[in-house]
C-alpha cells in the first residue's frame, strides 16, 4: 500500500513538473505586420510558371528550416531557438499574401529576412504563390 502511494505521488509530481515546464516555455510573440503589407495584393498570378519559380526558391532558401513540404521539419530546424512555422496549417494559410510577403522579406529572430538574397519582388511574390500550395 505504501509503495502504491509513493508511486502515485511520484507520477503526480512528474505530471505537475511537466505541466509547469511547458508553461515556462516562451510563447511565440505576435508577429505584427504593417497594414500597408497586410493589405497588399499579390501581383503574381498563381500558375505553373510562378509555382515552379517559387518552388525553386523554396528549395534554395526555405526547405532547410521549414522542410520539403512546409511542416517546419527541415534539417536545420532543431538548431533554432524557435520552431519554424508549419505552413500547411490553417492558421498560417489564413494570413494574407501581403503578410507572408512581409515576413519573408523582413524576417525576425531565427527567421532571416530575404530582401537581399531575393531582391526581385516578383520572385518573392512567386515564393508566396508556392507557399500557398503547401496546404494540408
- The answer to whether the CB of 55 falls within 8 A of the CB of 62 is no
pLDDT > 90 in the chain, percent: 76
pLDDT at 103 over 90: yes
How confident is the model at residue 48, as a pLDDT? 98
- The stretch 7-26 carries a mean pLDDT of 53
**pTM summary value:** 0.78
Composition of the chain by helix, strand, coil, percent to 5: 55, 0, 45
Average pLDDT over residues 63-74: 96
CATH superfamily of the domain spanning 28-134:
Cytochrome c-like domain (1.10.760.10)
| pLDDT over threshold 90, residue 74 | yes
Cβ count near 129 (within 10 Å):
22
Give the pLDDT mean for 79-95: 94
| pLDDT tops 70 at residue 16 | no
Amino acid at each position: 500500500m505504501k509503495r502504491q502511494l509513493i508511486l502515485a505521488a511520484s507520477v503526480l509530481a512528474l505530471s505537475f513538473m511537466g505541466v509547469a515546464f511547458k508553461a515556462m516555455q516562451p510563447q511565440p510573440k505576435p508577429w505584427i505586420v504593417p497594414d500597408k503589407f497586410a493589405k497588399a495584393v499579390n501581383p503574381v498570378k498563381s500558375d505553373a510558371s510562378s509555382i515552379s519559380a517559387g518552388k525553386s526558391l523554396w528549395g534554395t532558401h526555405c526547405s532547410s528550416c521549414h522542410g520539403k513540404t512546409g511542416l517546419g521539419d527541415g534539417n536545420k530546424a532543431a538548431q533554432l531557438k524557435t520552431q519554424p512555422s508549419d505552413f500547411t496549417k490553417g492558421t498560417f494559410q489564413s494570413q494574407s499574401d501581403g503578410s507572408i510577403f512581409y515576413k519573408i522579406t523582413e524576417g525576425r529572430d531565427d527567421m532571416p529576412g530575404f530582401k537581399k538574397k531575393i531582391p526581385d519582388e516578383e520572385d518573392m511574390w512567386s515564393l508566396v504563390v508556392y507557399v500557398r500550395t503547401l496546404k494540408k
